[in-house]
Structure 1
Amino acid sequence: MKKSILSLASVMLFAFAANAQKVEFEEYDLKNGLHVILHQDNSAPVVTVNVMYHVGAKDEENGKTGMAHFYEHLLFTGTKNIERGKWSEIQSARGGTGNASTDWDRTNYYQTYPSNELKLALWMESERMLHPIIDQKAVDTQNEVVKEEKRQRMDNAPYGKVIYGDVYNEIFDKHNYGRPMIGYIKDLDAAKLEEFQAFYNKWYMPNNAVLVVAGDFDKAEAKTWVKDYFASIPKREAPKREKIVEPIRTKEKRVKVYDANIQLPLVGMGFITPSFKERDAKVLDVISTILSNGKSSRLYKKLVDDKKMALQAFSFSRPLEDYSVYLIGSILAQGADKDELIKEIDDEIVKLQTELISDEDLQKVRNKFENQFVASNSNVQGIAATLAREYLLGGDTNRINNELDIINSITKEEIREAAKKYLAKNKRVVMDYLPESQKK
């Protein structure tokens, strides 16, 4: 079976590359509010079914954190018609794979199969939406799984608090993005079964989700199965959420974070930046590429190659629905001076704020984004996830086809102005990420 899964993945990776430049799709709504997106590509005999729910860590109540991520695990337990513990076994037996992910804005489930198993994939996702097993046994079992994941990914992983956003509480003062995405284990331990059930009833409904079918299938047949399995799922009152407005920072904040799993300090700068839907978010992505994408990038070349002050340099945005988080930083080399390293980073930011980048650098950035776009849309899993995200969080499915146009229209002047506006010293949080041994 392992061989067949690898073969399936290989087919997905290579067969779609030639058709990745423009993504064709059809979309419509069922009467119960479920939005459906169909992307047909018959170049390889595989199909992905992706269901994304508009609920994430930001939607949790105080004292009841971790529910969104918990459901990512819980909904693999089984359903009324899928025996407990048999979900993955069914997938593997039919040549498929599947997984899920959670962030602060959404929870996403997907399955990929040989194309003749589309009916099975749709039925399983309809079962997950309508008939999941949410009992005490399932909750107790998954609670241990979630704890182990937290230990592996954050508690015991070097720099895990930065990678998985556990330091966002230092960046956000009011917004729920400041909570750890995985939640607080003490909240999950204290939660009662009826609270888990209430979370499902509040958020898991067809009118709070999008269903994407991408790959090799017959449209008429797919529409019939979608109707058969999903149209009868009851629509419920849509959950109401109020956007939490984060105050604009006007003074630099400095904090210390300790990690028992590291030997070398990391210096990080965190900024609150616009929603991924905004044009300026793309401009900041361009700035990230200039600063740290590849060994010829400004920060890497200066800090790692030339001055030998750092082992690694990075800058990237965590794209989110209400705001994004922009991080710039570096892992210090042995004996490097932290304040000197911050000064060198600041010098590069000032250059972006005061000087226009060259035509050559701008073209290099555009080339990199084109390569990234092709890579992300070279398989049906990637296309399905992007279509779901752009509809559910971006508000426009066709954003999938507009990204390169936006990147290619960004000017050198916009880059300079965005660096001034969002990367100012008085708007940042500077984090000293230190070994636990340095804690006094």
Structure 2
Amino acid sequence: MKHFEVNFDGLVGPTHNYAGLSFGNVASQSNANAVSSPRQAAKQGLAKAKALADMGMTQGVLAPQERPDIQTLRRLGFTGSDATVLESAAKQSKQVFLACCSASSMWTANAATVSPSADTADGRVHFTPANLTNKFHRSLEPEVTGRILKGTFADNKYFVHHTHLPDNEHFGDEGAANHTRLCNEYGHAGIELFVYGRHAFDSSKPAPRRFPARQTLEASKAVARLHGLDDDSVVYIQQNPDVIDQGVFHNDVIAVGNQNVLFFHEQAFHNKTQALDEIKAKFGDHPLHFIEVGTNEVSVQDAVKTYLFNTQIITLPDNSMAIIAPTDCQENSAVSAYLDGLVNKGTPIQQVKYFDVKQSMRNGGGPACLRLRVALTDDELRHVNQNTLLSNTQFERLNTWVDKHYRDQLTEDDLRDPQLLTESRTALDELTQLLKLGSVYPFQQD
């Protein structure tokens, strides 16, 4: 039996915009209200995904959310035609309106937590959509995310879909952005690392003071229970509160893992030595590589600015590893020098490949934010919705779809344009047919 790690990249939606909604995400806030390019953003994401497919990786796509979210605006008391709802919401409650126009679903690292069949009690792949309760604009996503995941992984013989955790801060769950899996081989049982920011029911425990800790220990444990994970294969690690206060809003901004490699900054974790010792003990006798980046090599500020750790580490067909990094890393002298040296340090990481994903970077997400990792056997892969996998033909179709439906530029004022809503719905309806997802959007079900 063969096994793979498949990256499902989020398609950037036709209303991609910069609203600066994410408090604690420095890049998001610093680019608020800038003019965006939905077409360029979508093409940058597709180009990155296609490049990985050309390297021999199995690559898929996940559909975006519908935005503006008219259904939520109606729940909040805005009435009349869709055009009237848009106009009245934009005039009466600008921040609520902008939240309902968020482009954040493009970062599918937040879509869900995924446990492969090798780790779970019932031998199936488990999915739990993230509830994303810490940010209103992201808390609108999990229901549609669940439908998209079910349309992508439909066969219940192989896949299990859980309802997202209760919509409450005590169970704040940010999905795979705070979850890493270490293993010897993708198809072998591994160690699942759940990184949390705070204890929801114990205020005496360490917590950040400036920016919010979005993931709770209680949420992480709930997901592990739902997925049927054995206690001996799970490690719960608290993120360093001080590093959250420096703008590290998710663990994947300060650490990333792949197979037997954990790549992290020295300031990433609270009680670091204890956590690393537990990982070693549970990982067993297989080789394990901890690549720790010192503050004297790369500052936390530079790590956040360039998203050094929001890179993808992938295992290539020849079993060597590569880092997929944004060009922002290449443009920073300290980070570029570190990566140049890393490939000569005798670790499994043998090369670095740079990609321009600046439309995503300006909104607060690097290459790793754009993908959801799903470890699958060859049999499980055959039962994935094949229309969501990125072949040469599907890549061309999706690029043609973007050219047909996406605007080249988008401003904040454009978001209230009812024609944009019509364009977006037309695009998404066509996309669900291209990907054979069924009716996943509210406008398709009305």
TM-score, normalised by the number of residues in structure 2: 0.22
TM-score, normalised by the number of residues in structure 1: 0.22
More helix per residue = 1
Which has the higher Rg, Structure 1 or Structure 2? Answer: 1
